[in-house]
Amino acid sequence: MIEWMRAAGLAAALALAALAAPVASAADAEAGRALYETRCGGCHDRSVHERTARAAKSFAQLRAAIARWDRHAGALWRKEEIDAVTRYLNERYYRFPCPDDVCGSARG
């Protein structure tokens, strides 16, 4: 009986984690959008990201460019915020494969 209860508890925890992932992803995307629009939108409009000759050729290069501009602007963002902005821009414009250490299993 105890084994069955443990298995049921584990199954319930996994189900809740799976349900929470899309919510966290949506919240992260919104946070990334808000950070980008607040801090970058004044100088960078969509044409920067939609041009044919893009500087970033991978998710890692896109993230490095965002981190570089963050340092240039005063290094105000934490790693999680840089990741959120990178995910937002990637989902909206670039569509590079997103590594598990940044996107986990909740990929957009």
pLDDT tens, residue by residue, 8-59: 444 443 344 444 444 447 777 789 999 998 988 777 766 667 767 778 999 9
The Cα–Cα gap between 105 and 86 comes to: 16
Q: Which 8-state DSSP code applies to residue 70?
A: H
The pLDDT > 70 percentage for the chain reads: 68
Q: What is the pTM of this model?
A: 0.69
Of residues 73, 70, 92, the one with CA closest to residue 81 = 70
The Cα–Cα gap between 42 and 93 comes to: 18
